[in-house]
Structure 1
Amino acid sequence: MQKNTYKFMLILLLIGCMLILTSCGASTQPITAESTGVWNHYFVYPLSWLITFVAQLFNGSFGLSIILVTIFIRLVILPLTLKQNRSSKAMQAIKPEMEELKSRYDMKDPKEQQKFQKEMLSIYQKHGVNPMAGCLPLFIQMPILMAFYFAIIRTEEIARHSFLWFNLGSPDPLYILPIVAAVTTFIQGKITMRTLPANMQVTIYIMPAMILMAALAMPSALALYWVIGNVFMIIQSYFLYGRTKDIELNA
């Protein structure tokens, strides 16, 4: 439970950083093949090129390209998400055993703490559980998602095109995308963050509010990206968290 809280707060922090960087204009210069720096050359530009390439395949539709590339990116990182989910379930499965072990030691005594740590590692080894396995995929996913976020912002061609009823380079005049982005963010949070402690449940409302305020002011291309990503995550989360089958631990 505490582990899920840390993950949730990390995601909030990363989204906050993206919004701050964008509003400050620190990383919004147009991206090209000549852009320098490891982040630009190896992360942002390849995704910008992919968005443009897919748009050319579909008669210059950058809106459709954002939808397809968003789904593609989510599918690419899906194995990492599955690994993270399996690790979380494994940690939950051994939680009663860990609590029972902890109750046998005086955690204020350094010597007792050392004994507890040794037995804790033994339990991890017994069940084949790696406590760090759930965090590593998250740290791999976030740079990819952040790079895609900035690729959308910094690809000049996107701002010059329209999709459905909105201009991709301007906020949605009907406010439909921002509202849908916020609602889908809330639904996703309710599914994936329901294991948060009761006193942390309010944080489920923070992310939708952040997304709503950002989507009202930022280009519709970003709101479209958030909506598609959220819908994908809701479907994914239903299959990952909507079923309560216990994970089988290694003997």
Structure 2
Amino acid sequence: MKKKVLLLISLLLIVTFLAGCSEINQPVTSESEGIWNEIFVYPLSWLIIKIANIFHGNWGYGLAIIIVTILIRTAILPLMVKQLKSSKRMQLIQPELQKLKQKYASKDAVTQQKFQQEQIALMQKYDINPLTGCLPILIQMPILLGFYHAIMRTEELKGNSFLWFELADKDPYFILPIIAGITTFLQQKFMTKGQPANPQLAIMLWVMPVMIVFVASMTPAALPLYWIVGNIYSIVQTFFIKTPEIAELEQTSTATSKRSGGKKK
């Protein structure tokens, strides 16, 4: 069931990405047509320009990108908290889930059907809905992708600098791509902290930062700036934004892990 949900999300994200790819080199304006431009890209581009005009000066657009990134991350914060709760609940049931996998280790259809039934019952017991953890990703990705397009297609960014780099050009010193890769690694590390060992997650922990460094080195500096600010926000969020329920789930999960470790010894 979870694999089907992830597959559906992947397909939707691919469709969303392809919807905007054909226009990535076309400047976005109030005259740009299409739902993608009218709902996502142009409003974000307009917001960047308006905030930049408040500051004036050469750093206006750099500050605007930072502020809009923070505004977007804050707007989707409730979704991220919900996703974090779902993740913590999944951590909580891992010992019981492993017992079920051992109990129904046989790969025949009947055994696997029983495993699926008990797995669903276990998730219902702890009030876990697979869609709850995936829905925030599904909702936030078009917004974040729209912001990426807004950065790439806002003509006003050209000729404006921030710190040591031109926003519309690559970072000449390769500093931003490196910082983007490091913050991506740290963000993933903190997000997956306390989760059971997973080879796929371990691979992605290293592959994703490398991909970010590569892409950031090939794109205008405004994009890695956006990634860096978003990553730092996520790291701070993971450290400091706790609800009583998340704190309780973390304590329960830690206690469960210690008991499991003690039994193995």
| TM-score with structure 1 setting the length | 0.81
- Aligned pairs for 1:94-243 (under 5 A) are 94-105=93-104, 107-193=106-192, 195=195, 197-198=198-199, 201-239=202-240
Aligned partner of 2:87 in structure 1 is 88
Conservation of the 8 A alpha-carbon contact between 1:84 and 1:134? yes
Query: Which residue type is aligned with residue 164 of structure 2?
Result: W
SS in 2 for 1:132: helix
1:117-173, Cα deviation, whole Å (9 max, x unpaired) = 333333222222212211111111111100001101111001231222221111122
Aligned partner of 1:42 in structure 2 is 39
Aligned partner of 1:72 in structure 2 is 71
Deviates more, 1:123-132 or 1:144-153: 123-132
* CA shift in 2, pair 1:173/1:120, >3 Å: closer
Aligned partner of 1:59 in structure 2 is 56
Query: Which residue type is aligned with residue 252 of structure 2?
Result: D
Deviates more, 1:133-142 or 1:101-110: 101-110
Query: Which residue type is aligned with residue 92 of structure 1?
Result: Q
Task: Note the residue ranges of structure 2 that are not aligned, 5 or more in a row.
Answer: 254-265
Query: Which residue type is aligned with residue 185 of structure 2?
Result: F
1:35-59, Cα deviation, whole Å (9 max, x unpaired) = 1111111111111111111112222
Conservation of the 8 A alpha-carbon contact between 1:159 and 1:169? yes
Deviates more, 1:35-44 or 1:122-131: 122-131
1:163-199, Cα deviation, whole Å (9 max, x unpaired) = 2222111112232222221221222222224545246
* CA shift in 2, pair 1:221/1:105, >3 Å: closer
User: Aligned-residue CA RMSD in angstroms?
Assistant: 3.1
Task: Note the residue ranges of structure 1 that are not aligned, 5 or more in a row.
Answer: none
How far the C-alpha of 1:225 sits from its partner, in A, is: 0.8
Conservation of the 8 A alpha-carbon contact between 1:85 and 1:240? no
Q: Identity of paired residues, percent? A: 49
Deviates more, 1:49-58 or 1:66-75: 49-58
Structure with the higher helix share, 1 or 2 = 2
Matched, 1:246 2:252: yes
Distance 2:206 2:104 in 1: 38
Distance 1:202 1:105 in 2: 27
Query: Which residue type is aligned with residue 159 of structure 1?
Result: K
* CA shift in 2, pair 1:83/1:208, >3 Å: same
* CA shift in 2, pair 1:119/1:69, >3 Å: same
* CA shift in 2, pair 1:110/1:177, >3 Å: closer
How far the C-alpha of 1:83 sits from its partner, in A, is: 0.6
1:75-108, Cα deviation, whole Å (9 max, x unpaired) = 1111111111111111221222233334444653
| TM-score with structure 2 setting the length | 0.77
Query: Which residue type is aligned with residue 94 of structure 2?
Result: K
State how many pairs are aligned.
Answer: 236
